[in-house]
């Protein structure tokens, strides 16, 4: 052992002690500490290519891009195998799977024991948030997957500089991952908030194994945020620069399949481009928000990359994402074309005559499964992992230690009939109610009954690491701490007519609504008070370059009391699942809304 290694061992004795204990359980052949260097990246990439963990794509067309295929049974986050392990079940709450820490460690220890035999254990020191910022948190992930190392390099700040920032006694989240035998029956994703630890075993899929993301930056961070009085949220962060140069930032939460990445990378529509707007992407998935000394809410994106859904991405739906994934990107579970490039359903290019599908099997546009249905070339949850700075609209403020000031918070859902295109909360408490009652409806494109509603409060249902009733209470408490709180809005890009046709064109056109939101935040426009909140006066939405009949706008903004009364009952039933832990203020909001709707219906 060299002098340098001995010094490192002494300096990080508390890390070393933990690494040694985990290695004794997992029994890897060797332990390798990642330094985050370019040389290391080249070496590990070459090793992963040799082992077949990744495949090189056409380096002329897609320089620095690689393809990874997961096991067929390991293609998405496995919520039913994801647990919050707390001493008391009530602390995990009714929306989380629960195990006691003792039971969690016991079960997982069985799967981890000897799981890394014949493999290397990689030690990845990583930071969520800019290193040295008061926002940032440090984690160390141990893994037997080079794919995880290469992804963590993109998604986080990682390597030696993180260990330096940690120092000899610094606190870190202990993140342990092993692919083990990728057996779904021996798979667990366990969170131990009381120990600041995450154990994930039996999976190789991003959301289960890139432990800095959903596991640390949301589930563990929500618990820390409650304790330390800040907010860890499933939100994009977007800067809107007006022609005069003023930039204002918005944080927005949407359930999955509601276009979060598209909104984060929004391209202004032709009609508004003439006005000179520019959009700056600060984050597409997670926002950590704190009250600063100016009494406002400031946010950072703790991540350094995008882990986005590929199918449906094309230059019309997300021009900037297409530009983002042309180089230095890891593709997971997309189709491979004979020329070494990639393809997916919804790509700009027509389907290739032949390709290998996401599992590496020969595919053609005529391929059908046993059920006679067309076979997909790419998996519906195939992903790209791309560096944050690849996006042409990335904001230079991503490294700012204090983040960006948030002017407005948006909650969004997919509601075919109920919610208007946009409405503003009457105050912070009403805004928290809007977030707590957030929901999305199934469309004809999804399995299940059309119109069936899934509650997904603040888009955090699978990501809140503690009792969601307490989480709502924390949001209410934060309102009392922010001297100059952002206004809260709800948007719904998905309202349909009687035939199920979308009334609003969406995508870049959504900027028209963001413009109104910011004008409201600056008190520059009025609005129409309705029982559910404030909706725009149609004349206040700039429609230049968009030919939308006035009647359609009326339909988009209409509020139907009968539908709202049914909604209020449904929200009440949802709140009841939290029992006495549900904050009284939110019950009061539900009843106040009922009174306002009833009064208006008279």
The residues that touch Mn ion, with contacts defined as CB under 5 A, are 285
Binding string, residues 163-202; x marks residues near ligand OXD by CB under 6 A: ----------------------------------------
Site for ligand OXD in 233-272 (CB under 6 A): 256
C-alpha span between 334 and 260 (Å, rounded): 21
Nearest CB to Mn ion, comparing residues 22 and 235: 235
Contact 535, 423 (CB under 8 A): yes
DSSP alpha helices (H): ranges in 191-279?
206-209, 221-228, 260-264, 270-273
SS3 53: coil
**What single string gives the DSSP state of each residue in 425-449?**
-SSHHHHHHHHHT-EEE--TTSSS-
CB of 369 to ligand OXD, least distance (A): 25
C-alpha span between 371 and 47 (Å, rounded): 40
Distance between terminal CA atoms of the chain?
A: 82
CB of 165 to ligand OXD, least distance (A): 26
285 in contact with ligand OXD (CB under 6 A): yes
Site for ligand OXD in 61-80 (CB under 6 A): 77
Nearest CB to Mn ion, comparing residues 53 and 285: 285
Contact 211, 198 (CB under 8 A): yes
Nearest CB to ligand OXD, comparing residues 139 and 207: 207
Catalytic-role residue among 175, 215, 258, 391? 258
Site for ligand OXD in 511-570 (CB under 6 A): none
In 314-373, at which residue ranges do the beta strands (DSSP E only) sit?
330-332, 335-336, 342-343, 355-356, 362-363
β 137-143/120-128 pair status: antiparallel
Helix, strand, coil tally for the chain in percent (to 5): 35, 25, 45
Nearest to 469 by CA among 586, 569, 567, 592: 586
CB of 234 to ligand OXD, least distance (A): 7
CB of 285 to Mn ion, least distance (A): 4
C-alpha span between 230 and 471 (Å, rounded): 11
Nearest CB to ligand OXD, comparing residues 149 and 258: 258
C-alpha span between 413 and 436 (Å, rounded): 12
Among Mn ion, ligand OXD, none, partner that 415 touches (CB below 5 to 8 angstroms by kind):
none
Nearest CB to Mn ion, comparing residues 122 and 306: 306
CB of 513 to Mn ion, least distance (A): 22
CB of 598 to ligand OXD, least distance (A): 37
Contact 199, 104 (CB under 8 A): yes
- Rounded to 10 degrees, the C-alpha dihedral 560/436/585/473 comes to -170
Nearest CB to ligand OXD, comparing residues 77 and 430: 77
328 in contact with ligand OXD (CB under 6 A): no
In 179-220, at which residue ranges do the beta strands (DSSP E only) sit?
188-192, 197-201
Among ligand OXD, Mn ion, none, partner that 224 touches (CB below 5 to 8 angstroms by kind):
none
Among Mn ion, ligand OXD, none, partner that 113 touches (CB below 5 to 8 angstroms by kind):
none
Among ligand OXD, Mn ion, none, partner that 139 touches (CB below 5 to 8 angstroms by kind):
none
Catalytic residue list contains 26: no
Among Mn ion, ligand OXD, none, partner that 207 touches (CB below 5 to 8 angstroms by kind):
ligand OXD
Geometric angle at alpha carbon 54, from 381 and 351, rounded to 5°: 50
Nearest CB to ligand OXD, comparing residues 161 and 256: 256
CB of 474 to Mn ion, least distance (A): 20
207 in contact with ligand OXD (CB under 6 A): yes
C-alpha span between 509 and 552 (Å, rounded): 15
Residues engaged in binding ligand OXD (CB under 6 A): 77, 207, 256, 285, 307
Residues involved in catalysis: 258
């Amino acid at each position: 052992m060299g002098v340098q290694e001995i010094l490192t061992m002494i300096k990080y004795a508390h890390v070393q002690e933990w690494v040694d204990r985990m290695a004794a359980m997992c029994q890897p052949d060797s332990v390798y500490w990642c330094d985050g260097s370019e040389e290391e990246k080249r070496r590990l990439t070459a090793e992963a290519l040799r082992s077949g963990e990744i495949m090189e794509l056409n380096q002329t067309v897609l320089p620095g891009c690689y393809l990874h295929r997961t096991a067929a049974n390991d293609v998405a986050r496995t919520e039913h195998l994801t647990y919050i392990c707390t001493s008391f079940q009530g602390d995990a709450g009714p929306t989380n799977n629960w195990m006691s820490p003792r039971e969690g460690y016991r079960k997982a220890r069985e799967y981890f024991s000897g799981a890394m035999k014949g493999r290397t254990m990689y030690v990845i020191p990583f930071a969520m948030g800019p290193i040295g910022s008061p926002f940032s948190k440090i984690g160390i992930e141990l893994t037997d997957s080079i794919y995880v190392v290469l992804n963590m390099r993109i998604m986080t700040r990682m390597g030696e500089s993180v260990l330096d920032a940690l120092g000899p006694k610094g606190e870190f989240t202990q993140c342990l991952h092993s692919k083990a035998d990728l057996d779904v029956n021996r798979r667990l994703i366990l969170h131990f908030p009381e120990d600041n630890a995450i154990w994930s075993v039996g999976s190789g899929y991003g959301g289960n194994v890139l432990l800095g993301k959903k596991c640390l930056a949301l589930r563990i961070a929500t618990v820390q945020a409650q304790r330390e009085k800040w907010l860890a949220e499933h939100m994009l962060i977007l800067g809107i620069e007006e022609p005069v140069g003023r930039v204002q930032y918005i944080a927005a939460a949407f359930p999955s399949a509601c276009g979060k990445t598209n909104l984060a990378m929004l391209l202004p529509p032709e009609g508004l481009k003439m006005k000179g707007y520019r959009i700056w992407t600060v984050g597409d998935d997670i926002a950590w928000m704190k009250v600063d000394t100016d009494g406002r809410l400031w946010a950072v994106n703790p991540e350094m990359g995008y882990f986005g859904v590929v199918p449906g991405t094309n230059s019309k739906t997300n021009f900037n994402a297409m530009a983002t994934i042309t180089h230095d990107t890891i593709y997971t579970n997309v189709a491979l074309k004979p020329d070494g490039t990639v393809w997916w359903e919804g790509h700009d290019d027509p389907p290739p005559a032949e390709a290998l599908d996401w599992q590496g099997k020969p595919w053609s546009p005529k391929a059908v499964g046993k059920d006679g249905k067309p076979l997909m070339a790419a998996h519906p949850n195939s992903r790209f992992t791309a560096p944050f700075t690849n996006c042409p609209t990335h904001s230079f403020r991503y490294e700012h230690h204090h983040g960006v000031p948030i002017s407005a918070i948006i909650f969004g859902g997919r509601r075919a009939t109920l919610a208007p295109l946009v409405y503003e909360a009457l105050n912070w408490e009403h805004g928290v109610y809007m977030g707590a009652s957030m929901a999305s409806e199934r469309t004809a494109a999804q399995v299940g009954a059309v119109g069936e509603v899934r509650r997904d409060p603040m888009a955090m249902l699978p990501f809140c690491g503690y009792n969601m009733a307490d989480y709502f209470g924390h949001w209410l408490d934060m309102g009392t701490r922010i001297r100059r709180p952002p206004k809260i809005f709800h948007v719904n890009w998905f309202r349909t007519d009687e035939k199920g046709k979308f009334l609003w064109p969406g995508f870049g056109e959504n900027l028209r609504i963001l413009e109104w939101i910011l004008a409201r935040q600056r008190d520059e426009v009025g609005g129409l008070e309705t029982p559910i909140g404030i909706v725009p006066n149609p004349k206040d939405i700039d429609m230049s370059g968009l030919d939308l009949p006035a009647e359609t706008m009326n339909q988009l903004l209409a509020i139907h009391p009968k539908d709202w009364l049914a909604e209020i009952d449904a929200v009440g039933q949802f709140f009841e699942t939290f029992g006495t832990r549900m904050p009284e203020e939110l019950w009061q909001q539900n009843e106040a809304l009922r009174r306002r709707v009833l009064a208006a219906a008279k």
